[in-house]
Every structure is written in C-alpha cells, then in structure tokens.
C-alpha cells in the first residue's frame, strides 16, 4: 500500500486557499509524474489515507475520483485502487526539481558476474527448505518474538553455534561466549570498539582482505601489514615491525587471498607472541569448512591455551551473503565486556532470521548442506581448472590449495600486469581480481583470482575460459 511520499511533495496545508482535496490530488499527481509512484502501484484506501492525513474521507474520495477521471488512477474492485498500469513509466526525480537526466534511480539487486570471488553456489542453496523453515517460524511467532531480541544474539542460535564449533571446528566454548553479529565486518568492528584504543597498532596480513584494513583504519587504529609466505603470517616480521601491537587479525585456515594454511609452528609462534605481549588475535575463519583434500583443519582457537584468541565466523560462505549474519566467540575472561559492549547498539540481526538459522543447524540441514557443498565445489573447481588449461595450455599456472572458494591463475610470460589483465577480463564481464591489489609484499604477487563456486557445468566452464582468453589477448 503506497502513499505519496512527503519528501518530494507539498504537504497538506490548512492555511492556504487551496482546497484540501486539491492538495491530496496534487500530491498524487506529482508523485506519479516524478516517477515516485509507478504504474501498477497500489494506493491506500480512501478511509486509511483520510485517517493518516487527518482529513475527512470525502476529501480523499474527491481527490481519488478526479485522479481516476484524468486517467492517473484505476479502480480494481476488491483489489483496491492502483496507479493506472497503462501510464508510461517516469524516471524518478529529486525533490522539487523537474525531471532531470542525472537523477539517480536506485538499482535493484544484481546477480553477481561470472567468476565472482567469495560467494557460495547460489544455485545450490536449498531455497525450498529455507522457505519452509522461515514460514514455520513466521507462523509460530508469539509476543516475545515481536519484542526486541537479545543484542548478544538469539539464545537458541548461540547454543547451536557453540555446539557446531565444538564438534566441527574443535572450538570449545559456552553459548554465552558466542555473540551474533551482522557478519565479519560487524564482528571486527565490535572487537575494535571493545578492546582497542585510538592509534593502537594492529597486525594485518599482507596480502590480505581489504575490509579488515578498512574497518580498523576507519575506527582510528594503525594497521601494520605483515607479510604472508607459504606457511602463513610471518610472525617474526610482525614482531620486528611492531612488537607491542595490541592485536593481530589472521585467516589461518585458508589465508585470504593466497589460500595457504598457517603451519603449526607459526600458529604456536603467534599465540606465544600474543600471550607475552598481552595482545589479542582475531581469527577470521570465513571459509575454514571448505577443504577438498583431507579433513578441515582445526581452528587456531582450538590451540588457545592462554585465551588470547577471538574467533570470527560468518554465514556468508556457508549459507549465503544476503543473510548478513556472523558471530564472534570471545574468551570467557572477556565475556562481560562484550556483553556490555553489545548492549550499546542492536546487532542488527532480525530475530526470525536468527531463529531460522538455529533450526537449520539443529535439524541437521547445515552439516548436510556443507557436506554437499564440499563435493560440489571440488567438482566445480576441477571444471574451471580443466577449462583454463585447455584454453591457455602451458601459458597458465594454477595454484590449487587444499581448500577455499577461489583459485589463483598466473599467466606466464604475459607482459601486462595482473591489474591490466583483470581490467580486461572485467570489461568482458568476468569478475577476475588482481592478486597484486591485495597487498604490497606478496610472494609471487601477480595473478588473477577467480571464484569457481558458481561454474555450474563443463559447457559454462569452457565458455568462460574461451571468453577470458579472448579478453586477455
Ligand atoms: C577474508 C574474509 N573474511 C570474512 C568474510 C566474510 O565477511 P562477511 O561476514 O562480512 O560477509 C569474507 C567474505 O568475503 C572474506 O573473504
């Protein structure tokens, strides 16, 4: 049900000579002509709009009948009144202005382009099952579900996450240590505002995940890039550059973007530094579940004898990113501080979404889904690798790590930088990303990152590889 928005239109004004029905009429007409109301949009009933505006119902009815008479409105019996579907669609315009060419129209959601990094297989998400679980939750909603939720997260979801982490990731924690957030960035922002002071130094991986740097930087902290080699973060370099850093943020299961797993020796060095420097370590375990050779590695948090590690998980890769849900596990010694910090603002996570995810985990769908996705991604990765080898022959070298959702393709002997190659691929509609843009000291820092999770068939893989070859030249 749509009412003419106030921002672009004159309000109801009792002090002018213009009759009220004429003012209502003008509001609608302008909204339609400015493209704010569109053909087919349903309008409020005369009775409810009259009550909303504090005018007599007859006033609104007079306006509606004039709008219908001039062809702006069209009555559809039981279905109510709509803006005439036969009117031409207008471009939206800014408040008070004439239609202009540069008025920005809001874009609807767009499907991600081929080879997009970091997203799960969107065609393989069990939508029907999800819709059923969500509908069941919606039907069962009681008064408590309509009230504000716990800012630390919906209790059944915190319990389900704690149980899952204990079994699957080797992380022993109580539900009270789990804080539900709006995703990884929200978790990191919560950590930063709870544990860090302005100008505190934080080690980040180089190359690394840009949002980590951006979140910390925008919160006023100083990021210290620390190189990554084939054993993960080079802890000794971090110690040399900034021994008194307050925190380190790492992706030990599957380094983003290089894909290496942090060796046990490095894990122990990092924990040792943290405990001596009284620093915190944030473990970003964004896709630790996806490993195609051998079992998933236990989380760094499982080795955390000194309680220095905060574990950040996300449902973006294991369910879908539009869900906007993640979680943070904090050491027991920090639980109260995080409870206080989380009370300052809502975590932004709708109760019904949290409850549905809890059902999904508890009813066993989550582990079944993960198992299926592991098999599917291994297959899809093989499809893309084979197609790239066929298209490029020995001009391409592909780094395959044990896990993850993307591969790194290196185009040997190409005279152009990976930034140029990525730009060409993107111009051809393929969302390849240059490795060198992810940091400054990358080992063998040139290559194209490509997500393989949505490469659905051998034919599609072949077409993508052919398109890429034509684009790279
Ligand atoms: C390294 C890394 N960490 C975390 C995430 C998850 O972030 P979010 O929960 O904000 O979707 C991603 C997603 O792309 C990622 O690549």
Q: Does residue 209 line the site of ligand 1, with CB under 6 A?
A: yes
Q: What pLDDT digit, counting tens, does each position of 285-342 carry? A: 998 888 887 777 789 999 999 999 999 999 999 999 999 999 999 999 999 999 999 9
Residue bearing the CA closest to ligand 1, atom 3: 286
Residue with tokens 């999770």: 453
Query: Residue 334: phi, psi to the nearest 5?
Result: -105, 0
Residue environment code for 425-453, b if the CB has 16+ CB neighbours within 10 A, otherwise e: bbeeebbbbbbbbbbeebeebbbbbbbbb
| Structure-token pair, residue 266 | 């490095």
Residue 371: which pLDDT band, with cuts at 50, 70 and 90? very high
What's the pLDDT score for residue 48? 93
Write out the residue limits of the CATH 3.90.1150.10 domain(s) in the chain.
368-472
How close is the Cα of 119 to the center of ligand 1, in Å?
9
How close is the Cα of 284 to the center of ligand 1, in Å?
8
Residue bearing the CA closest to ligand 1, atom 16: 118
Domain 20-102, second-level architecture:
Orthogonal Bundle (1.10)
Q: What pLDDT digit, counting tens, does each position of 252-267 carry? A: 999 999 889 999 999 9
Write out the residue limits of the CATH 3.40.640.10 domain(s) in the chain.
123-364
What's the pLDDT score for residue 102? 55
Contact between 464 and 115 (Cβ < 8 Å): yes
Q: Does residue 212 line the site of ligand 1, with CB under 6 A?
A: no
Q: Does residue 116 line the site of ligand 1, with CB under 6 A?
A: no
Residue bearing the CA closest to ligand 1, atom 13: 118
Q: What pLDDT digit, counting tens, does each position of 11-32 carry? A: 688 888 899 999 999 999 999 9
- Of ligand 1's atoms, which has the minimum distance to the CA of residue 257? 1
Q: Does residue 359 line the site of ligand 1, with CB under 6 A?
A: no
Which of 338-347, 350-359, 411-420 is predicted least confidently? 411-420
Find the mean pLDDT for residues 386-404: 92
Residue with tokens 């002071």: 197
How close is the Cα of 83 to the center of ligand 1, in Å?
42
pLDDT greater than 70 at residue 419: yes
Strand arrangement, sheet containing 81-83: 42-43, 81-83, 73-75
Q: Does residue 311 line the site of ligand 1, with CB under 6 A?
A: no
Residue 101 to residue 103: CA distance in whole angstroms: 6
Q: Does residue 314 line the site of ligand 1, with CB under 6 A?
A: yes
User: Which three-class secondary structure string do you get for 357-394?
Assistant: HHHHHHCCHHHHHHHHHHHHHHHHHHHHHHHHHHHHHH
How far from chain centre, in Å, is Cα 112?
12
Q: How many CB atoms lie within 10 A of CB 8?
A: 18
Residue 246 to residue 228: CA distance in whole angstroms: 19
Q: Ligand 1 pocket check: which of 118, 214, 404 to mutate, most ligand atoms within 8 Å of Cβ? A: 118
Q: Does residue 326 line the site of ligand 1, with CB under 6 A?
A: yes
Write out the residue limits of the CATH 1.10.10.10 domain(s) in the chain.
20-102
Residue 10: which pLDDT band, with cuts at 50, 70 and 90? very low
Side-chain-side CA neighbours of 143 within 13 Å: the count stands at: 0
Query: CA torsion sign, 82 to 84 to 86 to 89?
Result: negative
Q: Does residue 438 line the site of ligand 1, with CB under 6 A?
A: no
Residue 6: which pLDDT band, with cuts at 50, 70 and 90? very low
Q: Does residue 256 line the site of ligand 1, with CB under 6 A?
A: yes
- Of ligand 1's atoms, which has the minimum distance to the CA of residue 256? 1
Residue 157 to residue 135: CA distance in whole angstroms: 17
pLDDT greater than 60 at residue 441: no
Residue 179 to residue 188: CA distance in whole angstroms: 12
Q: Does residue 321 line the site of ligand 1, with CB under 6 A?
A: yes
Give the closest residue to 268 by CA, choosing from 224, 223, 305.
305
Q: What pLDDT digit, counting tens, does each position of 48-98 carry? A: 999 999 999 999 999 999 999 999 999 888 888 999 999 987 776 655 555
What's the pLDDT score for residue 414? 80
Angle at 429 between CA 423 and CA 435, to 5 degrees: 40
Side-chain-side CA neighbours of 203 within 13 Å: the count stands at: 32
What's the pLDDT score for residue 444? 61
The beta strand positions in 36-116, using DSSP E, are 42-43, 73-75, 81-83
Alpha helices in 170-309 (DSSP H): 184-195, 210-218, 235-241, 264-277
Residue bearing the CA closest to ligand 1, atom 4: 286
What's the pLDDT score for residue 11? 64
Which of 101-105, 157-161, 227-231, 243-247 is predicted least confidently? 101-105
Residue 41 to residue 429: CA distance in whole angstroms: 34
Q: What pLDDT digit, counting tens, does each position of 85-138 carry? A: 999 877 766 555 554 455 677 888 888 999 999 999 999 999 999 999 999 999
pLDDT greater than 90 at residue 283: yes
CATH number of 368-472: 3.90.1150.10
What's the pLDDT score for residue 7? 40
Domain 123-364, second-level architecture:
3-Layer(aba) Sandwich (3.40)
Residue bearing the CA closest to ligand 1, atom 7: 184
Q: Ligand 1 pocket check: which of 184, 287, 318, 347 to mutate, most ligand atoms within 8 Å of Cβ? A: 184
How close is the Cα of 366 to the center of ligand 1, in Å?
19
């Amino acid at each position: 049900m749509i009412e003419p928005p106030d921002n672009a239109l004159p309000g109801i004004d009792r002090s002018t000579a213009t009759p009220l029905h004429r003012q209502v009429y003008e509001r609608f007409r302008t909204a339609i002509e400015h493209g704010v109301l569109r053909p087919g949009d349903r309008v409020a009933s005369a009775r409810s709009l009259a009550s909303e505006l504090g005018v007599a119902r007859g006033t609104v009815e007079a306006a509606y009948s004039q709008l219908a008479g001039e062809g702006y409105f069209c009555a559809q019996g039981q279905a109510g009144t709509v803006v005439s579907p036969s009117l031409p669609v207008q471009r939206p315009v800014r408040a008070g202005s004439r239609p202009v060419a540069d008025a920005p129209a809001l874009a609807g959601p767009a499907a991600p382009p081929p080879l997009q990094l970091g997203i799960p297989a969107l065609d393989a998400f069990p939508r029907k099952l999800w819709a059923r679980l969500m509908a069941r939750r919606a039907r069962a909603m009681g008064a408590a579900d309509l009230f504000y939720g716990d800012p630390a997260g919906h209790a059944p979801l915190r319990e389900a996450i704690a149980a899952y982490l204990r079994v699957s990731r080797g992380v022993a924690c109580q539900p009270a240590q789990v804080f539900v957030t709006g995703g990884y960035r929200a978790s990191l922002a919560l950590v930063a505002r709870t544990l860090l002071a302005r100008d505190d130094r934080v080690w980040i991986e180089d190359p690394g995940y840009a949002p980590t740097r951006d979140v910390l930087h925008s919160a006023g902290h100083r990021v210290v890039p620390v190189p990554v080699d084939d054993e993960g973060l080079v802890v000794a370099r971090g110690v040399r550059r900034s021994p008194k850093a307050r925190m380190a943020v790492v992706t030990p299961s599957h380094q983003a973007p290089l894909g290496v797993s942090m060796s046990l020796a490095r894990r122990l060095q990092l924990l040792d530094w943290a405990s001596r420097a009284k620093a915190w370590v944030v473990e970003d375990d964004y896709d630790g579940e996806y490993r195609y050779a051998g079992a998933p590695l236990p989380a760094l948090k499982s080795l955390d004898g000194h309680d220095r590690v905060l574990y950040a998980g996300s449902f973006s890769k294991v369910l879908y990113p539009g869900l906007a849900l993640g979680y943070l596990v904090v050491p027991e010694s920090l639980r109260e501080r995080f409870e206080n910090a989380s009370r300052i603002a809502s975590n932004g996570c709708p109760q019904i979404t949290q409850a549905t995810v809890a059902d999904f985990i508890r009813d066993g769908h989550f582990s079944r889904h993960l198992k299926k996705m592991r098999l599917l991604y291994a297959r899809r990765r093989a499809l893309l690798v084979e197609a790239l080898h066929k298209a490029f022959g020995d001009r391409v070298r592909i780094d395959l790590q044990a896990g993850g959702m993307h591969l790194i393709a290196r185009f040997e002997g190409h005279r152009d930088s990976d930034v140029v190659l990525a730009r060409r691929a993107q111009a051809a509609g393929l969302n390849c990303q240059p490795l060198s843009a992810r940091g400054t000291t990358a080992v063998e820092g040139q290559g194209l990152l490509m997500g393989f999770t949505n490469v659905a068939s051998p034919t599609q893989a072949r077409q993508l590889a052919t398109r890429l070859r034509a684009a790279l030249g």
